[in-house]
Protein backbone atom coordinates (compact mmCIF):
# COMPACT_ATOMS: atom_id res chain seq x y z
CA UNK A 1 0.00 0.00 0.00
CA UNK A 2 1.51 3.37 -1.00
CA UNK A 3 2.25 6.01 1.58
CA UNK A 4 0.03 9.08 1.21
CA UNK A 5 0.23 12.42 2.95
CA UNK A 6 -1.84 15.60 2.85
CA UNK A 7 0.17 18.83 2.98
CA UNK A 8 -1.94 21.84 3.93
CA UNK A 9 -0.73 25.36 3.21
CA UNK A 10 -2.51 28.23 4.97
CA UNK A 11 -2.09 31.99 4.84
CA UNK A 12 0.78 31.85 7.34
CA UNK A 13 4.36 32.22 6.21
CA UNK A 14 6.13 29.02 5.20
CA UNK A 15 5.70 28.57 1.46
CA UNK A 16 9.39 27.82 0.95
CA UNK A 17 9.25 25.11 3.62
CA UNK A 18 6.09 23.64 2.10
CA UNK A 19 7.73 23.48 -1.34
CA UNK A 20 10.85 21.74 -0.02
CA UNK A 21 8.80 19.38 2.16
CA UNK A 22 6.74 18.25 -0.82
CA UNK A 23 9.88 17.78 -2.93
CA UNK A 24 11.46 15.58 -0.26
CA UNK A 25 8.29 13.55 0.26
CA UNK A 26 7.93 12.87 -3.46
CA UNK A 27 11.60 11.85 -3.66
CA UNK A 28 10.93 9.41 -0.82
CA UNK A 29 8.06 7.87 -2.77
CA UNK A 30 5.22 9.42 -0.78
CA UNK A 31 2.06 10.34 -2.69
CA UNK A 32 1.36 13.97 -1.79
CA UNK A 33 -1.97 15.76 -1.76
CA UNK A 34 -1.54 19.53 -1.59
CA UNK A 35 -4.38 21.63 -0.13
CA UNK A 36 -4.05 25.41 -0.38
CA UNK A 37 -6.32 27.88 1.40
CA UNK A 38 -7.58 31.10 -0.13
CA UNK A 39 -5.24 33.16 2.06
CA UNK A 40 -2.28 30.98 1.16
CA UNK A 41 -2.52 31.91 -2.51
CA UNK A 42 -1.55 35.50 -1.65
CA UNK A 43 1.19 34.45 0.76
CA UNK A 44 2.64 31.96 -1.73
CA UNK A 45 2.75 34.63 -4.45
CA UNK A 46 4.50 37.03 -2.07
CA UNK A 47 7.07 34.49 -0.82
CA UNK A 48 7.75 32.47 -3.99
CA UNK A 49 6.84 34.99 -6.71
CA UNK A 50 3.95 35.15 -9.16
CA UNK A 51 4.58 31.56 -10.26
CA UNK A 52 4.74 30.30 -6.67
CA UNK A 53 1.49 28.36 -6.81
CA UNK A 54 2.62 26.74 -10.06
CA UNK A 55 5.87 25.70 -8.35
CA UNK A 56 3.96 24.03 -5.54
CA UNK A 57 1.44 22.29 -7.78
CA UNK A 58 4.12 21.05 -10.16
CA UNK A 59 5.82 18.98 -7.45
CA UNK A 60 2.73 17.63 -5.65
CA UNK A 61 0.94 14.55 -6.96
CA UNK A 62 -2.53 16.01 -6.36
CA UNK A 63 -3.78 19.55 -5.76
CA UNK A 64 -6.87 21.22 -4.28
CA UNK A 65 -7.27 24.97 -3.87
CA UNK A 66 -10.04 26.77 -2.04
CA UNK A 67 -10.92 29.83 -4.16
**pLDDT confidence tier of residue 49, bands split at 50, 70 and 90:** very high
The pLDDT value given to residue 6: 97
Q: Where are the domains of the chain?
A: 4-65
To the nearest 10°, the Cα dihedral for 26, 47, 62, 9?
100
The pLDDT value given to residue 2: 87
CA atoms within 13 A of residue 52's CA, in its CB half-sphere = 19
Q: Flag whether pLDDT at 55 surpasses 70.
A: yes
Nearest to 64 by CA among 46, 40, 37: 37
Amino acid sequence: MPKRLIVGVTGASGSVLALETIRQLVRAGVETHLVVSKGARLTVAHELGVDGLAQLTSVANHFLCFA
